[in-house]
């Protein structure tokens, strides 16, 4: 884990980098010994590509978060690991529910090779949070049925659940094949 | 040997649709005496001349009369072929019911079949997600009548602790004969449920349940098969 100073240095390094741009890093967060870089959504590929060259060559996890009621609501976290230095850094980016679009990091691109491990994990984030990853090779639902409506891990998704039929209320409920 | 099938009280072809005279049953009993005597079933040690009280007692000790339905139900209920099918943690308890301590082979239910077409009992052991539900329904439809279903555990019956977007109670998509509560039920609980099902099949095949839910004729028909 970079310490707080190391994280600031890493952020400065990224801001000075031409491929990333000085505006790309929104902020840093060092909380409970975890280093987090907050980046603009359009810069996610460039930041990950630079950090890969920096040694953080393993993408351990991609996952979504819903920060409701804070805007922009949807967060996507990329957990990077430097295997030789045993060092981790988290890259987060936030998109709104109105335009939940983000570049996929799965395919190879002009800014460098992709991260094939992100394929299924981006599909899961799409399934559960509705973030649309542009350029993803096969963006389908992965856990819920194909015809499912809505993205159930969003905080404003109704808790719902099916009403349970007991003997006392079976006549008011939908039966099996009646 | 001839097996005669009669519906008591509602008439047969013999009586032209009217109720059977109870005295006719007595005649039938005497006929069976004659049958035994004529066929020399009594063996060499018993002369065919046995008669009266002696014959009466002999027949009473050796002949069991029942209805065909009861005989068939007795056979079915003592040889369920469960489907080898586990969904979640309850399946562990289901395996244990087949293990040496509980040993459902004692009751004749040990033949877990790998194909739904050979099974007549499906035990839903675990939570059912809405993505799995159509698959389970298909398995149930592939089983041939007569068939029964046991919903094992809280998740399968009422979604248990998972009252959320992902699960569906099993009653929503297929008819269930016995619900076994518990989280998970102990193997003894499952055994109790299966024995309840046995009693149901023997004494009161459906308790009107299947008619109420329209749960008849749900086999999947394969075209050309």
The whole-number pLDDT of residue B11 equals 44
Mean pLDDT of B21-43: 64
B159 vs A contacts (CB less than 8 Å): 161-162, 164
Neighbours of B218 (CB within 10 A): 18
Q: What's residue A101's pLDDT? A: 92
Which pLDDT band, with edges at 50, 70 and 90, does B12 fall under?
very low
Q: Which of the four pLDDT bands, split at 50, 70 and 90, describes residue A50?
A: very high
What does the block give as tokens for B146? 């007569």
Least confident interval from A122-131, B16-25, B95-104: B16-25
A155: distance to nearest CA of chain B, Å? 12
pTM of the model: 0.70
Chain A residues within 8 angstroms (CB to CB) of chain B: 143-145, 148, 152, 157, 159-162, 164-165, 174-178
Q: CA B206 to CA B146: how far, in whole Å?
A: 11
Percent of chain B clearing pLDDT 70 (strictly above): 69
Residue B219 vs residue B158, higher pLDDT: B158
**pLDDT for res B165:** 84
Q: Which of A163, A176, A177 to mutate: most B Cβ within 10 Å?
A: A176
**SS3 call for A14:** helix
Burial of B54 (0-12, 13-18, 19+ CB in 10 A): exposed
Q: Strand, helix or coil at A172?
A: coil
- Give yes or no for a contact between B214 and A178, defined as CB atoms under 8 angstroms apart: yes
pLDDT of the residue at B2: 58
Q: What is the pLDDT of residues B165-189, one digit of tens each?
A: 888 888 888 888 889 999 899 999 9
- Return the percentage of chain B with pLDDT > 90, whole number: 25
Least confident of A43-52, A63-72, B163-172, B188-197: B163-172
Residue B48 in this model has a pLDDT that exceeds 60: no
- Does the structure show a pLDDT above 50 at A178? no
pLDDT of A174 higher than 60: no
Average pLDDT over residues A50-72: 92
Q: Which residues in chain B are contacts of A165 at CB distance < 8 A? A: 169, 171-172
Got the DSSP string for A118-161? HHHHHHHHHHHH--EEET-TT---SSS-TT--S-TTSTTS----
pLDDT of residue B25: 66
Q: Is the pLDDT score of A91 beyond 90?
A: yes
Q: What pLDDT, on the 0 to 100 scale, is given for residue A92?
A: 95
Q: What is the mean pLDDT of chain B?
A: 79
Higher pLDDT, B44 or B70: B70
Average pLDDT, integer, range B113-122:
92
Q: Is the model's pLDDT at A64 over the cut of 50?
A: yes
**Residue B58: is its pLDDT beyond 90?**
no
Q: Are A49 and A80 in contact, with CB atoms under 8 Å apart?
A: no
- Contact between A164 and B169 using a beta-carbon 8 Å cutoff: yes
Q: Which of A77-81, A146-150, B103-107 has the lowest mean pLDDT?
A: A146-150
What is the bridge-based pairing of β-strands A132-134 and A101-103?
A: parallel
Please provide the size of chain B in residues: 225
Query: What is the pLDDT averaged over residues B91-97?
Result: 91
Q: Does residue B122 come out as left (phi exceeding 0), alpha (psi in the -120 to 50 range) or beta?
A: beta
Instruction: Quote the pLDDT of residue B63.
Output: 72
Res A115: pLDDT: 93
Instruction: Residue A152: name the closest of B131, B25, B10 by CA.
Output: B131
Which pLDDT does position B60 carry in this prediction?
74
Q: What is the pLDDT of residue B13?
A: 47
Query: Would you say residue B202 has pLDDT above 90?
Result: no
Chain A residue with minimum CA distance to B216: A177
- Give the burial class of B197: count Cβ atoms within 10 A of its Cβ; 0-12 exposed, 13-18 middle, 19 or more buried: buried
Res B55 pLDDT > 90: no
Q: What CA–CA distance (Å, rounded) separates B175 from B151? A: 10
When comparing pLDDT for A87 and B220, which is higher? Answer: A87
Q: What is the pLDDT of residue A104?
A: 93
**pLDDT digits 0-9 by tens, A113-142:** 999 999 999 999 999 999 999 999 999 999
Distance CA B159, CA B155 (A): 4
Q: Which pLDDT score is estimated for B159?
A: 84
Confidence (pLDDT) at B71: 84
Query: Best interface-test mutation with A: which of B165, B167, B209, B214 has the largest number of A CBs within 10 A?
Result: B165
SS3 A65: strand
Give the pLDDT confidence score for residue B82 in this predicted structure.
93
* Residue B71: both structure tokens together: 């005989």
Tell me the residues of B at the A interface, defined by beta carbons under 8 Å apart: 130-131, 157-159, 163-169, 171-175, 213-215, 218
């Amino acid at each position: 884990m970079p310490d707080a100073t190391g994280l600031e240095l890493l952020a400065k390094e990224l801001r000075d980098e031409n491929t990333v741009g000085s505006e790309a890093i929104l902020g840093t967060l060092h909380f409970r010994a975890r280093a987090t870089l907050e980046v603009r959504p359009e810069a996610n590929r460039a930041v990950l590509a630079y950090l890969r060259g920096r040694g953080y060559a393993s993408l351990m996890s991609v996952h979504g978060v819903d920060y409701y009621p804070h805007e922009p609501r949807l967060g996507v976290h990329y957990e990077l690991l430097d295997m030789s230095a045993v060092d981790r850094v988290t890259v987060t980016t936030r998109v709104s529910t109105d335009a939940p679009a983000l570049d996929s990091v799965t395919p190879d691109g002009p800014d460098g090779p992709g991260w094939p491990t992100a394929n299924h994990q981006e599909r899961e984030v799409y399934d559960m949070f509705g973030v649309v990853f542009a350029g993803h090779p096969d963006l389908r639902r992965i856990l819920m049925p194909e015809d499912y409506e809505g993205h159930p891990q969003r905080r404003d998704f109704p808790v719902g659940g099916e009403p349970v039929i007991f003997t006392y209320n079976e006549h008011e409920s939908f039966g099996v094949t009646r | 040997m001839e097996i005669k099938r009669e519906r008591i009280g509602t008439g047969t072809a013999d009586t032209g649709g009217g109720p059977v005279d109870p005295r006719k049953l007595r005649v039938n009993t005497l006929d069976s005496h004659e049958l035994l005597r004529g066929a020399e079933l009594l063996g060499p040690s018993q002369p065919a001349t046995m008669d009266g009280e002696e014959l009466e007692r002999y027949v009473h000790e050796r002949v069991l009369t029942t209805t065909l339905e009861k005989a068939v139900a007795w056979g079915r209920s003592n040889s369920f072929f469960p489907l080898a099918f586990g969904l979640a943690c309850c399946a562990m308890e289901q395996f244990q019911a087949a293990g040496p301590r509980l040993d459902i082979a004692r009751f004749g239910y040990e033949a877990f079949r790998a194909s739904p077409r050979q099974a007549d009992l499906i035990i839903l052991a675990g939570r059912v997600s809405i993505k799995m539900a159509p698959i389970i329904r298909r398995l149930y439809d592939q089983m041939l009548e007569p068939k029964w279903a046991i919903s094992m555990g809280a998740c399968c019956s009422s979604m248990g602790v998972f009252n959320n977007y992902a699960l569906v109670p099993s009653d929503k998509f297929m008819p269930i004969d016995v619900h076994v509560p518990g989280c998970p039920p102990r193997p003894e609980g499952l055994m109790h449920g299966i024995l309840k099902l046995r009693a149901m099949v023997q004494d009161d095949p459906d308790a009107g349940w299947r008619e109420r839910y329209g749960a008849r004729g749900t086999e999947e028909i394969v075209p050309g098969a």
